[in-house]
């Protein structure tokens, strides 16, 4: 059976299966059958804009590569986030990790699935507040070019800032006016400490250097077990000995990796002496 028609388009089971296979191969994401309405909705506009009569025709266009391939990947891998999501992780970073930092080397954090960037800018605000003018930097990466463009622009709807501390909002953000009414922008001084790069976590990683903390939150829930193991194993060498690996509260490394020490729920530490 097909998905109910949306603006005259119907996503059949076989067409949906093609997109499932594509996104699993490209991004490692296991897309459940329940995501069919999401796929239908997100791709319908592209089908119409290209003047195509079916999702199958659009799939064939996508598989020719080029810009439309990246557009489809962007649409199918995008997830909404917000500032200071799962605030306990930021509390732990502030109270337990940063207080122990010796300051001998730049403090580096990697948001490895940064989506539209709210996590990255939350980290930057916290590090600026706690470390000030000492050496620190944040890297945000994602597979979606469109999300990285949003992250770099750093302009967000106010509702994304519902958990942003008022002191940080006043200090690090500008309130939009005119055409930007209802939005906020992360102030420019933070931008010099932040970098965004396109990185596919299931592919060969570029040279990124070593990190004190890696955030990999709300992405492994979309991976099967083997992909989770491969991704974590790939990230492990990029974490400095004694560094912390932080995942979402809904995720766990049980059965995924035994190389980390559990510090608190969803917070792991790489042993000082690698084994």
Q: Which positions are annotated as active-site residues?
A: 42, 142
What are residue 140's DSSP bridge partners?
Answer: 111, 196
Within 13 Å of residue 4, how many CA atoms lie on the same side as its CB? 1
Decide: 187 and 231 in contact? Cβ < 8 Å: no
CA–CA dist 212, 244 (Å, integer): 6
Dist CA 87 CA 122 (whole Å): 10
Cα distances (Å, whole numbers) of residue 90 to 96, 118, 265: 10, 13, 14
What does each C-alpha distance from 49 to 58, 160, 179, 235 come to in angstroms? 10, 29, 26, 39
CA 34 to chain centre: 22
């Amino acid at each position: 059976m097909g998905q109910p028609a949306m603006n005259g388009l119907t996503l059949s089971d076989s067409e949906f299966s093609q997109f499932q296979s594509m996104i699993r191969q490209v991004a490692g994401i296991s897309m459940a059958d329940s995501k069919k309405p999401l796929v239908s909705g997100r791709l319908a506009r592209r089908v119409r804009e290209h003047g195509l009569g079916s999702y199958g025709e659009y799939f064939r266009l996508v598989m020719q590569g080029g810009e439309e391939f990246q557009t489809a990947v962007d649409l199918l891998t995008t997830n909404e986030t917000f500032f200071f999501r799962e605030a306990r992780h930021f509390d732990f970073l502030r109270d337990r990790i940063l207080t122990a930092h010796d300051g001998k080397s730049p403090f580096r954090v990697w948001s490895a699935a940064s989506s539209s960037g709210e996590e990255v800018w939350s980290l930057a605000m916290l590090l600026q507040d706690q470390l000030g003018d000492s050496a620190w930097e944040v890297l945000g990466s994602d597979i979606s070019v469109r999300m990285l463009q949003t992250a770099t622009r750093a302009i967000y709807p106010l509702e994304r800032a519902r958990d942003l501390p008022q002191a940080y909002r006043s200090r690090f953000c500008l309130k939009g006016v005119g055409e930007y009414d209802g939005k906020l922008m992360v102030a420019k001084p933070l931008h010099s400490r932040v970098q965004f790069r396109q990185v596919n976590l299931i592919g060969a990683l570029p040279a990124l250097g070593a990190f004190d903390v890696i955030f990999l939150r709300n992405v492994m829930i979309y991976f099967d077990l083997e992909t989770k193991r491969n991704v974590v194993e790939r990230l492990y060498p990029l974490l400095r000995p004694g560094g912390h690996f932080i995942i979402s509260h809904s995720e766990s490394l049980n059965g995924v990796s035994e190389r980390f020490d559990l510090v608190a729920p969803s917070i792991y530490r790489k042993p000082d002496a690698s084994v």
